[in-house]
Structure 1
Amino acid sequence: MLIRRESPDDRAAVHTVHAEAFRREAGVTPVEAPLVDELRAEGDLIGALSFVAVRDGEVVGHVCCSTARLGDDPGVAVGLGPLGVLPAHHRGGVGSALVHTVLGAADALGYGLVVLLGDPAYYARFGFVLTSALGVTPPDPGWERHFQARPLAAYRPTHRGAFAYAPAFSRI
């Protein structure tokens, strides 16, 4: 498996990955697929934090981060997601490889926090903790049990406050 930055030629495959990874019912496109398209179109998808997993020449997974605001600071944190893997490749290490890659890249770029809404049982292995432990509040109070952050090297205890995703997230 190869993990590399997403290229413009990958866009259709990335859309397909999220459509298949999050499909809940036949014939209905899940919101995660057009969300990535909207983040990209609006300039909020961070290109240096958008990665694909490739097996045998096929894009089988994708992860990205987008711009975010923590309190009054737009440069401290990024929002991770969506993370998608084609169902035929679940439980094969693709998702883990993508998360490790995006966390390492976000750390190298100097971000303090990577924030996501997801299953704590899955993301704890990557060092994510509930945001309440860090003084970060989710956009929706109902998310508290699943709203997590991963502190990186640039994290400081002063990185606190209300978290806001890029605008495309509020439309899903």
Structure 2
Amino acid sequence: MIIRRERPADRETVRAVLVTAFETPMQADLVDRLRASAEWLPELALVACDGDQVIATVMCSRAHLDPVGTPVLSFGPIAVHPEHQGGKTTVPLMHAMIAAAEARGEAAILLFGDVDFYPHFGFEPAGKYAITPLAGGPHRGESDEFLVRTLAAYEPSMTGSFRYSPAFSQ
């Protein structure tokens, strides 16, 4: 398996992986909106390939902490084709994304997700860092599902309400 940056030629296959993995086009449509937004970060759109075939995708987009507008990352979506699901694809893809974000000098990655899965990658409850979900934001999950992975550029003053790209609300 090879993990690399997504290429323009991968977009249709990435869309197919998202639709197949989620059994709905909702996440694929979100990715299309993110790609068209100012918050799109192409260097943080990764794919896992088995030979020439894209079997998984993950991305981060620009987000902010209000009231100051501190730049952070919003994680996801991540999707693995059902025929390849399991740790053999997901785990290396997660590590590659975290390493890519770290290499860019990003401060933190935030997500709503499985509290039994994401802590294996260093994610912790965001509330521990005084980071809260923005009221009225796209996720209505339990606050314990709101997680952060701080990176080397993180500073304790980086607190506030997490604001996604507007693409998440469209």
Normalised-by-shorter TM-score class = over 0.9
**Are the aligned partners of 1:22 and 1:32 in contact in 2 as well (CA < 8 Å)?**
yes
Indicate the residue corresponding to 2:166 in structure 1. 167
Write the distance in 2 (CA, Å) between the matches of 1:159 and 1:92. Answer: 32
**Are the aligned partners of 1:36 and 1:45 in contact in 2 as well (CA < 8 Å)?**
no
CA displacement 1:16-49 (0-9 Å, x = unmatched): 11111111xxxxx331111001100123221110
**Are the aligned partners of 1:67 and 1:74 in contact in 2 as well (CA < 8 Å)?**
no
**Are the aligned partners of 1:35 and 1:168 in contact in 2 as well (CA < 8 Å)?**
yes
Over 3 Å counting, the alpha-carbon distance change for 1:73 and 1:52 in structure 2 is farther
Number of positions where the alignment pairs a residue of Structure 1 with one of Structure 2: 166
Write the distance in 2 (CA, Å) between the matches of 1:74 and 1:8. Answer: 30
Write the distance in 1 (CA, Å) between the matches of 2:31 and 2:69. Answer: 20
CA displacement 1:39-65 (0-9 Å, x = unmatched): 001232211101000002110000001
**Are the aligned partners of 1:110 and 1:154 in contact in 2 as well (CA < 8 Å)?**
yes
**Matching residue within 62, 70, 86 for 1:67:** 62
TM-score, length-scaled by structure 1: 0.91
Write the distance in 2 (CA, Å) between the matches of 1:156 and 1:8. Answer: 35
CA RMSD, 1 decimal: 1.4
Q: What is the identity percentage for the equivalent residue pairs of Structure 1 and Structure 2?
A: 39
Indicate the residue corresponding to 2:14 in structure 1. 14
Matched, 1:130 2:125: yes
Q: CA deviation at 1:139?
A: 2.5
Q: CA deviation at 1:138?
A: 0.9
Query: Residue 69 of structure 1 aligns to which amino acid in structure 2?
Result: H
Over 3 Å counting, the alpha-carbon distance change for 1:140 and 1:20 in structure 2 is farther
**Are the aligned partners of 2:62 and 2:71 in contact in 1 as well (CA < 8 Å)?**
no
**Are the aligned partners of 2:63 and 2:163 in contact in 1 as well (CA < 8 Å)?**
yes
Query: Residue 121 of structure 2 aligns to which amino acid in structure 1?
Result: F
**Are the aligned partners of 1:45 and 1:64 in contact in 2 as well (CA < 8 Å)?**
no
Indicate the residue corresponding to 1:26 in structure 2. none
